[in-house]
Chain A
Amino acid sequence: MRKELPDWLKTAMPETAAAPDTIARTARNQVESLGLPGLRDEEWRWTNLRAIQRGRFNTPTGVGADIEPSIHLPLDNPLRLRFIDGVFQGVPDGVPEGLTLSSLADANDDTRQAAFAPIPAPSVENPNDALVTLNTAMASEGVVIDVSANATIERPIVIEWLDGATESVMSHPRVLIRLGQSANATVVEHIETVGEQPAWRNSVIVSTIAANAALTHIALGLDGTSRLATERTFASLERDARYHSYNIQLAGQMIRREYDIHVGGSGAHTDLVGLMMPRGKQVLDTHTRITHAAADTTSNEHYRTIADDAGRGIFKGRILIEEDAQRIQAYQSSNNLILSDNAEIDAKPELEIYADDVSCSHGATIGRLDEEALFYLRSRGLHVDEARGLLIAGFAQEVIDEIPLVDLRDWLTERVERRLGDRDTSGNETA
């Protein structure tokens, strides 16, 4: 089943970590027996970690602190939390009232306990699996985002993952996001490769959303052909809470992103929206797992993949509805577009329903460009290449249109169009 933990990873195990001692010690004892997930593991059927296994990654040395991102997102007065190769660069000045940002290394015992406590996620056999346990054992860096009850933080909080600054570096950062009752915040993950070095980031984000609070979480994987990432997001929702997730993955050698959403209070709702555009030999993989653990909860999931060249896109969406969770509405759609003979897309919905009063639907489509639509556009005078580009961009646009930040939406539209504009030149350059 599993792959044995490579020696270089065993020897990289630190003596001390950001996790509380007992949790860290337990994790360190477990990582060896857990190993790394292998292809026979049902959750890893389509994605392998060979590039990590063979990678010989080192822990970061903390150099390159003056590195700036080269991609500028159109965000209004953002609060930047910068990680260079997983090393946190410190809390910014001018943090608004109602928001507390702190380095995980400086956090008190209770906070560290909250950030690293084993996570309950009934929709998956072992939520604290090999990669999460590895993160627990190794995390030395991280950040805590606390939003007070009733506070609305207008400024977007941007976590900048700047990967690949130094050679063959791995990092295991952990982020804790806590929203108090009726709080509102937007967190954006800006994921960028800042060097041509191979890099592996194994990050975990744990978010707890109290009653009636709303977290908008946008993840933007923007570039990189040598970037490896295993990214895990946990969100637990209390009564009437909302978690809105937008996951845009435009590049990366192998990106595996997993969401475990625990919809645990009545009236709570989650949206999971995603777009993946693998090309070259990129593998972009998202697994989502939603647990409806309370009655009168809703979820809406909309994922799209566009695979070009020899790119591979993977989407697996699991929805678990527990026995006492009645009057649930859960919708999932996964639409996928294959642009080349060598591209591959695997899409799998999985529903597990134990309640009886449930409205639940899912649909997955995988296809090529609609010939009828292509003919329609050409019959209006559009050149075949333009018509094709327009259809592909339009397919992506339906996901982008769901992002609530207008400027960011427009920026992404343009970026996707630009990326489509340079397709066919070489399948492998960055966006």
Chain B
Amino acid sequence: MALLEIKNLHAEIEGKEILKGIDLTVNAGEVHAIMGPNGSGKSTLCHVLGGRDGYEVTKGEITFDGHDLLEMETEERAVAGMLLGFQHPVEIPGVKNIYLLKEALNAKREAQGLDEVDTFTFMKQVRELVASMDMDDAFLHRGVNAGFSGGEKKRNEILQMLLLEPKLALLDETDSGLDIDALKVVSEGINRMRGQERGIILVTHYQRLLNYVEPDFVHVLYKGKIIKSGDKTLAHRLEAEGYQEILEEAS
């Protein structure tokens, strides 16, 4: 059974159709990259998968790990193992990072029928992860993303993923706006998440990320449809030739 199966997905926002029939299958153990120019529907796809209000699915179905995803609330999707990494992680001053991490982990554990994590184990694990993402412990006691640089926010997204160990990680332009040092740290984090149990979807505007995280499949999204799929060489072609060539070829 596929981890994620999207069939003929149509979705609109404020009456405007953005996704016009998407089919995509992701199995555990696979890394998929979804690329596309601005306005192709990349972020809409992420928001629909995340369950954001205001996006209406008009046609099609999505199955995640055996569940009908469209019947699930945002938080139900998360505790079932689908985590969305934000393109623009939200600043929430007043809510401490450490608190969010713990609550998120406990929400997942509760859904799995497990007890709350004990503080000692939790802190040990979190500190190791913080160090591995080249971040400072002090960040744990700051507000969620509050006053973080772009790079810090994206590291924080990966840190949350490493802690919460989702079945499917959906990363929306996690590489955008990163300088090369931050990109390396973020990529290493993503590579550490790779595994037989887990699917990863990288939604990206740039081919650069794929030099560090090698995808098994690459899809080109254009005007709300996947117009071409292939292996990693497709990304190289996009980089070398630009979207135009591929678009013409597909049409």
Contacts and interface: CB of A to CB of B under 8 A. Distances in A.
Contacts of B107: 380-383
A151 interface: no
B94 A395 contact: yes
A391 B92 contact: yes
Interface residues on B, range: 20 to 34
Given A375-B52, A377-B100, A394 B78 contact: no
B93 A379 contact: no
B75 A376 contact: no
Contacts of A375: 50, 52-53, 74, 90
A398 B107 CA distance: 25
A383 B77 CA distance: 11
Interface in A364-401: 370-373, 375-384, 386-387, 390-391, 393-398, 401
A379 B84 contact: yes
Contacts of A378: 51, 73-75, 78
B104 A382 contact: yes
Contacts of A393: 94-95
A371 B93 CA distance: 15
Nearest to A384: B75
Contacts of A396: 94
Contacts of B73: 378, 384
A376 B84 CA distance: 9
Contacts of B190: none
B79 A376 contact: no
B95 A394 contact: yes
A390 B75 contact: no
Contact of B90 (A370, A398, A401): A370
B95 A390 contact: yes
Contact of A379 (B50, B91, B99, B108): B50
A339 to B, nearest CB: 15
A391 B78 CA distance: 19
Contacts, number: 83
B93 A398 contact: yes
Interface in B98-116: 99-100, 103-104, 107-108, 111
Contacts of B164: 380-381
Of residues A371, A382, A387, A398, which shows the largest number of chain B Cβ atoms within 10 Å of its Cβ? A382
A381 B79 contact: yes
Contacts of B79: 381
B89 A376 contact: yes
Interface in B34-64: 50-53
Given A375-B52, A379-B83, A380-B100, A394 B75 contact: no
A391 B75 contact: no
A391 B83 contact: no
B21 interface: no
Given A381-B78, A383-B75, A373 B104 contact: no
B92 A373 contact: yes
Q: Which of B74, B108, B143 has the largest number of chain A CB atoms within 10 A?
A: B74
A130 B164 CA distance: 61
Contacts of A384: 73-75
B160 interface: yes
Contacts of B75: 378-379, 381-384, 387
A391 B146 CA distance: 13
B90 A372 contact: yes
A380 B94 contact: no
Nearest to A392: B94
Nearest to B94: A394
Contacts of A377: 92, 95, 100
Nearest to A398: B94
B206 interface: no
Given A378-B75, A380-B160, A384-B73, A397 B90 contact: no
Interface in A383-429: 383-384, 386-387, 390-391, 393-398, 401
B43 to A, nearest CB: 13
A372 B91 CA distance: 9
Given A381-B78, A382-B107, A383-B107, A376 B94 contact: no
B86 interface: yes
Contacts of A386: 103
A396 B143 CA distance: 13
Interface of B: 50-53, 73-75, 77-79, 83-84, 86, 89-95, 99-100, 103-104, 107-108, 111, 143-144, 160, 164
Q: What are the 6 tightest A-B residue pairs by CB atom distance, in nearest-first order?
A: A394-B94, A381-B107, A381-B78, A394-B95, A380-B104, A378-B74
